[in-house]
Chain A
Amino acid sequence: MSKSKLLGGTRFAIALVSTTVRASFALRHAFWMSAAFMLINNLLFFSTWWILLGRFQHVQGWTLPDIMCLFGISCTGYGVAVVLAGGLFDLARKVHDGELDTWLTQPKSVLVQALGSRTHMSGWGDLASGIGLLALSGAVSWSSLPLLAIGVACACATFVACGVAAHSLAFWLGRTHELSRAIFEFTVTFSLYPPSLFGPGLKWLLFIVLPAGFVSYLPVELLRAPDVRTLLACVTGTAAYFGAALWLFHRGLRRYASGSRFYARV
């Protein structure tokens, strides 16, 4: 890809996302409601850990501040992902129903258009709860901010990549909305629990099939015990997973069949 094409693509992505996000701000009432409810939702969900660790102090060495950090990274990464790439959740349905047609006729990337076509207002609530939990965890200081930024960027990129890979299954398997969503939900679920709970047999699953390892485990390790090897593993792992997801989507796109069909609503 030439440099000018890459620059043009980036500029288009920024313009698309900023338009979608601005449009969501226009529905002010709905925006604040969605964000506030999501914030409450996340804090209520987190309270389970607060209760458990209030009673038992730690789970395999993971104390409340550690879990706050784990939740914080995961919520922030997820929030950024759904705000910037909210079209992720509908991708499998769009592929199956042939709704990519309009984007295929445009000179820009189909994936960027599909992902940036929607934003989730509730993502701002995720973002707020994530930042709040990170601040309360005590694991973040001015010196660790760059590592935190890298960790959150990796979490966000991996969430998007996981969604793209899971929803790309629709190119081969047809109607996979539920399966694709389930794969994504499993990744979110696993990213909220300490990795030490799962034995070595499950580790490969958590780093390859459901990339919870890159979403939260490695980014949290970066904050708990900063280390060059962890940093490299986190960045290269995320890049590899992201690259694989892009490759899968573009391979699938070659098989894409148009949705020129008639519907009858009874």
Chain B
Amino acid sequence: MTRTANALFLQAFELLSPGKYVAIARTSFRHRLEERSVLMGRVAFYGVLLMVFSKVWQTVFAAQTEAGSAAPAAAFGDYVWYLVVTEWIVLSQPSVHMDVQGDMQSGDIAHQLSRPVSYVGSKLAEALGDLALRLVVMGAAGLVFGRLFADCWPEPERLALAALVGLLSSLVMLLCLLSIGLCSFWLHDCMPVYMVWQKLVFVFGGLMLPLSIYPDWLQSIARATPFAAMLYGPGRLVIGEGDAPTALALQLIGWGVLAALVTFLVERRALRRLVIDGG
């Protein structure tokens, strides 16, 4: 227990002098900026998903109006902007879990551990640089796609709030991905864990459909998970039916602290296992 507390203290101390991590993040940002085709591929995928789902909503709204049934609570444009925000958060995530898995599988981790930086800290910094770039590029693309498919703009204050909370949410998701990557120390392939986590985010987070249209029993389950705060929370803000943004941000900070603690503990166990196994 005392050892864990000491290690936590050292980690916190390292974070207070973050010069080398800032340098890693900056280098990663520049490096990813050079990979334009990857960025463009992501942007195109974002556009295709928004196009497909805006068509789904268009069809649903047209059918509801034709049949004279009760239309969904929000307007068509609101649902498109909801998608713009949720997909922006999800598609901006770098594949840090695959990087960690790659290091473990190729054996690169052995010489990375000898560097005077924390392995997880450097991976996190690298991923943050990547995330920062993606958030900017995808955010700009999202504005264009949103206007194109929704045919209207949301209220600027709502959009700004959703973007701010979305940033927090992206950080929490990144920490979760890092923990998933560290699972490859036990499983060798973290992809199955990642895919299930990703789909839980999709369903319980309300990636494509707002939780408000879910059946009541599923809504109450989803709201009890961190996924709802990560996606449904920021998504709701843009359509103006969200919780108080401060409460949502505090909720996300809470989940973020928990995710950071889990990442730290998993890292410790993973590295101990690596040393015992001989790398």
Q: Give me the interface of A with B, judged by CB distance under 8 Å.
A: 30, 33-34, 36-38, 40-41, 44-45, 47-48, 51-52, 54-56, 58-60, 122, 175-176, 178-179, 181-182, 185-186, 189-190, 193, 196-198, 265
Number of A-B residue pairs, CB cutoff 8 Å, is 88
Q: Which residue of A lies closest to B49 (CB)?
A: A189
**How distant is the Cα of A48 from the Cα of B191 in the complex, in angstroms?**
21
A41 near B195: Cβ-Cβ < 8 Å: yes
Residues on the A chain within 8 Å of B55, using CB: 197-198
A45-B199, A56-B64, A197-B56 given as contacts; is B209 within 8 A of A34 (CB)? no
**How distant is the Cα of A189 from the Cα of B41 in the complex, in angstroms?**
14
CB distance from A7 to the nearest CB of B (A): 37
**How distant is the Cα of A103 from the Cα of B139 in the complex, in angstroms?**
44
B196 near A44: Cβ-Cβ < 8 Å: yes
CB distance from A199 to the nearest CB of B (A): 8
Does chain A have a CB within 8 A of B203? Answer: yes
Among candidates B59, B192, B213, B215, residue contacting A34 with C-beta atoms closer than 8 Å:
B192
Residues on the A chain within 8 Å of B45, using CB: 182, 185-186
B192 near A33: Cβ-Cβ < 8 Å: yes
Q: Give me the interface of B with A, judged by CB distance under 8 Å.
A: 35, 37-38, 41, 44-45, 48-49, 52, 55-56, 59-60, 63-64, 108, 187-189, 191-193, 195-196, 198-200, 202-203, 208-209, 213-215, 218
The 6 A-B pairs with the shortest beta carbon distances in the complex, nearest first, are: A37-B192, A44-B199, A182-B41, A197-B55, A41-B195, A178-B38
A58 near B63: Cβ-Cβ < 8 Å: yes
Residues on the B chain within 8 Å of A175, using CB: 37
Residues on the B chain within 8 Å of A178, using CB: 35, 37-38, 41
Known: A52-B209, A59-B63. 8 other contacts (CB 8 A): A34-B192, A37-B193, A45-B202, A59-B60, A179-B41, A182-B44, A189-B49, A189-B52
**B187, B189, B192, B200: residue with the most chain A Cβ atoms closer than 10 Å:** B192
Residues on the A chain within 8 Å of B193, using CB: 37
CB distance from B86 to the nearest CB of A (A): 12
Residues on the A chain within 8 Å of B199, using CB: 40-41, 44-45
B192 near A38: Cβ-Cβ < 8 Å: yes
Q: Which residue of A lies closest to B218 (CB)?
A: A51
B interface, over-half SS: helix
B195 near A33: Cβ-Cβ < 8 Å: no
In the assembled complex, 19 residue pairs joining A and B whose CB atoms fall closer than 8 Å, in A order, are: A30-B187, A30-B189, A36-B192, A38-B195, A41-B196, A41-B199, A44-B202, A44-B203, A45-B202, A47-B203, A51-B209, A51-B214, A51-B218, A56-B60, A58-B63, A122-B192, A122-B195, A182-B41, A185-B45
A186 near B215: Cβ-Cβ < 8 Å: no
CB distance from B186 to the nearest CB of A (A): 11
Residues on the B chain within 8 Å of A198, using CB: 55
B189 near A34: Cβ-Cβ < 8 Å: yes
Among candidates B35, B56, B64, B195, residue contacting A37 with C-beta atoms closer than 8 Å:
B195
Q: Which residue of B lies closest to A173 (CB)?
A: B37
B200 near A44: Cβ-Cβ < 8 Å: yes
**How distant is the Cα of A122 from the Cα of B194 in the complex, in angstroms?**
13
Residues on the B chain within 8 Å of A189, using CB: 48-49, 52
Residues on the B chain within 8 Å of A181, using CB: 41
CB distance from A181 to the nearest CB of B (A): 8
Residues on the B chain within 8 Å of A193, using CB: 52, 56
**How distant is the Cα of A108 from the Cα of B130 in the complex, in angstroms?**
42
B52 near A190: Cβ-Cβ < 8 Å: yes
Residues on the B chain within 8 Å of A36, using CB: 192
CB distance from B67 to the nearest CB of A (A): 9
B41 near A56: Cβ-Cβ < 8 Å: no
**How distant is the Cα of A158 from the Cα of B58 in the complex, in angstroms?**
30
Q: Which residue of B lies closest to A198 (CB)?
A: B55
Residues on the B chain within 8 Å of A122, using CB: 191-192, 195
Q: Which residue of A lies closest to B55 (CB)?
A: A197
**A36, A40, A56: residue with the most chain B Cβ atoms closer than 10 Å:** A56
**How distant is the Cα of A48 from the Cα of B199 in the complex, in angstroms?**
10
A30-B189, A189-B49, A193-B52 given as contacts; is B41 within 8 A of A59 (CB)? no
**How distant is the Cα of A40 from the Cα of B187 in the complex, in angstroms?**
18
